[in-house]
Amino acid sequence: MLHFEQAGNGIALFEADSFSISQILECGQCFRFEKTEKGYKIIAMGRVLYIEETESKIMFYPCSVAEFEDIWINYFDLDTNYTIIKEVLASNDPVMRDAVEYGSGIRLLNQDKWECLISFIISQNNNIPRIKKIINLISQTYGTEISEGCYDFPTANELISADIASLMACNTGFRAKYIMDAVEKVTTGQVDINELSLLETAVLKESLMSIKGIGNKVSDCILLFSFGRRDIFPVDVWVKRVMSHFYFKGEDVSIPEIHKKAEKLFGEYGGYAQQYLFYYARQFYFK
């Protein structure tokens, strides 16, 4: 059971299982956040939220009990027991045991589907600091101002007013035409994001991939991070690197081969495994 209560203008969460806000945000699944003096500030679900950790509790503010229950419990996946998931993954696999220990405070978010879709179109052949800048520029240009200087990510309808040139001005580069295709297919209902959440993963994936600029990897990220398909194992350059190193003796292995191996090793927990591995892999190159 979750233990939280109103404290001042925010919510205090006690005895949280597997919750490190820095790991949750810095593990590459989301992009609209920044460090503050005491913690992090995120823009998500049409709100600005500050998060600070102490030894005894985690503070979320500004936030009411109703808001916490309606929005943030689901967003931060707080109803999922990560202790069990980590135990399953760590048993019988020494690599995952280390990866899970290193990122023991990671949680997979349940993000907004539209924002996630566009964000991962932007992510292709790009790096994380630059992805964050581009998404912030798009939000400032087309999004609604939530509070002083903080802009929500624009809806598909808000992006109808965009064109290739203005998106290029947000440094989207060759991805501008992909964003426009996504706006068109979603606003006309050719790709119905809400209806898709009811569909079987394979059908859902096929529909997402009808949008130009959404291929195998980008659709996998959208499925995992905003449609809750936690068995999906996205393979980017980092995951490819770490999988090759630990499970293929460093050989240059194909992405389908990596998917086969991940399915065999991690099964229904593939999405969680992938996130621990991504965070684990990058520490060898940074910090």
Partner DNA sequence: CTCCAGGGATCAG
Partner DNA sequence: CTGATCCATGGA
Q: Would you state the structure tokens that stand for residue 200, as one six-digit string?
A: 């079987």
Site for DNA in 59-88 (CB under 7 A): none
Nearer to DNA, 63 or 273 (CB): 273
Q: Phi/psi at 161 (nearest 5 deg)? A: -75, -10
Which residues are bridge partners to 6 per DSSP?
11
At 166, list the tokens.
């203005």
By CB under 7 A, residue 130 contacts DNA = yes
Question: Which of these segments, 15-23, 97-105, 191-199, 273-281, binds DNA (CB under 7 A)?
Answer: 273-281
Counting DSSP H helices and E strands in the chain, the numbers are 15, 8
In the chain, what is the straight-line distance between the N-terminal and C-terminal CA atoms, in Å?
A: 36
The helix/strand/coil state of 42 is strand
Stretch that binds DNA, among 41-49, 63-71, 74-82, 274-282 (CB under 7 A): 274-282
Closest CB 107 distance from DNA, rounded Å: 12
53-62 in b/e form (b: 16+ CB < 10 A) is beeebbbbbe
Contact string (CB under 7 A) for DNA, positions 7-46, x = contact:
--------------------xxx-----------------
193-232 residues in contact with DNA (CB under 7 A) are 209, 212-219, 221
Q: Given candidates 65, 83, 87, 174, which one binds DNA under the rule CB under 7 A?
A: 174
Show contacts with DNA in window 131-160 (CB under 7 A): 131
Question: For residue 67, with 0-12 CB atoms within 10 Å meaning exposed, 13-18 middle and 19 or more buried, which class applies?
Answer: middle
Distance in Å, CB of 207 to DNA, minimum: 13
Which of 18, 23, 226, 274 binds DNA (CB under 7 A)? It is 274
Q: Is 50 helix (H, G, I), strand (E, B) or coil?
A: strand
Interface ranges with DNA (CB under 7 A)? 27-29, 120, 123-131, 168, 171, 173-174, 209, 212-219, 221, 234-239, 254, 256, 274-275, 278
